[in-house]
Amino acid sequence: MKKDFLKELLEKSEIYPTAEQLEKFAVFQEELREWNQKFNLTAIEEEEEIIIKHFYDSLLGMKITGWQSRSRLLDLGTGAGFPGIPLKIINPDLQVTLVDSLQKRIGFLDHLIQKLQLTGTQAVHGRAEEMGQNKEYREKFDYVVSRAVAKLSVLSEYCLPFVKPGGKFLAYKGPEGLEEYNGAKKAIQELGGNLYEMKDFVLPKQESKRLIIVIQKTAPTPGRFPRRPGIPAKKPLE
Ligand code: SAM
């Protein structure tokens, strides 16, 4: 992998990866390429694109003020591990729970966790709507991150139940995020959240725009949320 390219990009963002961390990204990229030939894990295959749109993009969440590395983080709808695995590689002290409803993705993640020796990291096969009602996971996380899973009103119902009061939910969005936020304000309040901040970014090279919306949990989520599997997407909160 073009380790120097990744290193330079991260250093410009004041993230200083060690040689060991860069090697983990190289192995991650190689495993992604190999497994992608058998299973559809990502549509992005070109090396620089993986570096920018998966690795660098995943780490944008660290630019949010108040980020603590010794925390519990859940990545909802992680797919091939984004943004959770890059965040774990750079912050080895994070306790990370990766969640996805597709078993074959969990198979890849279990393999990767072993291969990269990511301690304090687990991949869980499950749906947000069920896990969010499970005491083992409900209101247990300092951070919940999620990228490319659902529009913000639906995503908030998936994610906010996992966040501890005082913790934060980071929705990784593109420019459409602003309109989504305007349509989700009431739902977010009902779920116990409040806007903490929004930060926009421009990815290098293709210059795609990104918006990270940070919602702080200010009150417990009422027990009726999340609703049954399929309902949040079918009947989004208004
Ligand atoms: N977050 C990754 C990324 O940005 O590359 C993957 C995005 S992929 C488009 C969406 C993922 O969310 C899929 O892997 C899908 O299985 C998962 N997903 C969708 N709805 C879910 C739900 N209700 N609970 C758990 N996972 C879900």
Is 82 annotated in a binding site? The answer is yes
Task: Show the domain range for 104.
Answer: 67-234
pLDDT surpassing 90 at residue 51: yes
Q: Take atom 27 of ligand 1 and give the residue whose Cα is closest.
A: 77
Count of domains observed in the chain: 1
Q: How confident is the model at residue 128 (pLDDT cuts 50, 70, 90)?
A: very high
Residue to mutate, 149, 156, 234, ligand 1, most ligand atoms under 8 Å from C-beta: 149
Is 128 annotated in a binding site? The answer is yes
pLDDT value at residue 64: 83
Q: Interface pTM (ipTM) of the complex?
A: 0.99
pLDDT value at residue 37: 86
45 located within any domain = no
150 located within any domain = yes
24 located within any domain = no
Q: For 174-195, write each residue's pLDDT tens digit.
A: 999 999 999 999 999 999 999 9
CA atoms within 13 A on the CB side of 14: 4
Is 129 annotated in a binding site? The answer is yes
Helix (H) or strand (E) holding 214: strand 209-217
Task: Residue 78: name the closest of 29, 133, 124, 120 by CA.
Answer: 124
Residue to mutate, 74, 100, 156, ligand 1, most ligand atoms under 8 Å from C-beta: 100
Is 77 annotated in a binding site? The answer is yes
What is the SS3 string spanning 49-97? HHHHHHHHHHHHHHHCCCCCCCCEEEEECCCCCCCHHHHHHHCCCCEEE
7 located within any domain = no
CA 4 / ligand 1 centre spacing (Å): 30
Report the CATH number that the domain containing residue 182 is assigned in CATH.
Answer: 3.40.50.150
Over pLDDT 90: what percentage of the chain?
89
Spatial separation of the C-alpha atoms in residues 12 and 147, rounded to whole Å: 23
6 located within any domain = no
